[in-house]
């Protein structure tokens, strides 16, 4: 009984540890900081004085500060000192690096928008029939749409190794049926002569002729979302329907008429295609 008398209520422990009652309950639920005693009848949590040191454990605070959720912290503390601990930290570091890169991109966009003042229209919309084409493609999932370059870094050496020579500008097909906040499924492609063969992770696709709405974007790639908005407005205003037959030919795609190593960002030309039913 002497030991029990020295236990404190969750409110007292919260006040001393500077952790909210809500957070203490959360930690308990995930095995991060379990009360010394839980009354079987009232379910009241009581904590021992020595657990204040656990609450202030710098490792817990650091893991929380670098973005680990409470459930992950409990699992990590259980493997502290093993290779799994280091592997988890390295993976989180890679995740934070990606988030930093994305944040820098957004800051750069905000700066550009402030410098530009009122935006000017740099997107034109037409309707055209896209001819059939043979393309060599590489499919993969990337963290975000802006990471598409990772696929190109894999594709170009493979093309060279197989002696495949493109015959026009390439682009990207979006396989997902919706906009993805992360992990979009993409196929980058380049047109090639009919009869071309490919091996490894490269594949040859035969794309049919299609009736499409086409938004030509002049300038930065961040206007592509606006291009899709304009296409959607045209679909609604003219009573048109996007092609949705479940085939590859029904997916939206882009073609890059210039590349960043050829022209400045302001001179980039991208055609955004939406196949029609």
Domain boundaries, given as residue ranges, for the chain: 2-78, 123-275
The two structure tokens encoding residue 161: 């190794």
195 torsion bin: left (phi>0), alpha (psi -120 to 50), beta (else)? left
Between CA 260 and CA 256 the distance in angstroms is 10
Least confident window among 50-59, 196-205, 216-225: 50-59
Write out the CATH class of domain 2-78.
mainly alpha
23 torsion bin: left (phi>0), alpha (psi -120 to 50), beta (else)? alpha
Write out the CATH class of domain 123-275.
alpha beta
Between CA 145 and CA 257 the distance in angstroms is 18
Residue 8's pLDDT band (cuts 50, 70, 90):
confident
Asked if the model's pLDDT at residue 3 lies above 50, the reply is no
Positive or negative, the CA dihedral 209, 214, 219, 222 is negative
What is the spatial order of strands in the sheet that 37-38 belongs to? Answer: 8-9, 45-47, 37-38
Burial class (CB in 10 A: 0-12, 13-18, 19+), 169: middle
What integer best gives the mean pLDDT of the chain? 85
Cβ atoms of residues 186 and 172 within 8 Å: yes
Residue in 35, 38, 26 with CA at minimum distance from that of residue 73: 26
- Of all residues in the chain, the percent with pLDDT exceeding 70 is 94
pTM of the model: 0.57
The two structure tokens encoding residue 140: 């993969």
What residues form DSSP beta bridges with 190?
A: 136
Compute how many other C-beta atoms are within 10 angstroms of the C-beta atom of residue 209. Answer: 11
């Amino acid at each position: 009984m002497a030991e029990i008398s020295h236990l404190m209520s969750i409110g007292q422990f919260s006040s001393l540890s500077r952790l909210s009652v809500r957070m203490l309950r959360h930690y308990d639920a995930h095995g991060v900081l379990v009360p010394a005693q839980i009354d079987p009848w009232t379910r009241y949590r009581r904590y021992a004085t020595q657990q204040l040191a656990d609450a202030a454990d710098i490792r817990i605070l650091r893991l929380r500060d670098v973005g680990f959720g409470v459930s992950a912290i409990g699992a990590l503390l259980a493997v502290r000192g093993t290779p799994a601990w280091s592997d988890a930290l390295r993976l989180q570091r890679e995740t934070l690096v990606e988030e930093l890169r994305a944040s820098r991109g957004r800051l750069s966009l905000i700066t550009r928008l402030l410098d530009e003042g009122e935006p000017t229209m740099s997107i034109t919309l037409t309707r055209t029939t896209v001819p059939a084409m043979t393309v060599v493609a590489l499919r993969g999932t990337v963290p975000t749409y802006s990471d598409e370059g990772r696929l190109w870094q894999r594709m170009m050496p493979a093309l060279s190794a197989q002696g495949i020579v493109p015959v026009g500008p390439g682009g990207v097909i979006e396989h997902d049926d919706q906009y993805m906040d992360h992990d979009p499924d993409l196929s980058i492609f380049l047109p090639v002569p009919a009869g071309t063969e490919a091996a490894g992770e490269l594949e040859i696709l035969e794309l049919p002729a299609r009736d499409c709405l086409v938004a030509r974007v002049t300038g930065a790639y961040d206007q592509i979302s606006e291009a899709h908005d304009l296409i959607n407005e045209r679909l609604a205003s003219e009573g048109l329907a996007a092609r949705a037959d479940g085939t590859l030919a029904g997916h939206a795609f882009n073609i890059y008429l210039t590349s960043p190593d050829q022209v400045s960002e302001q001179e980039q030309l991208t055609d955004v295609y939406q196949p029609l039913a």
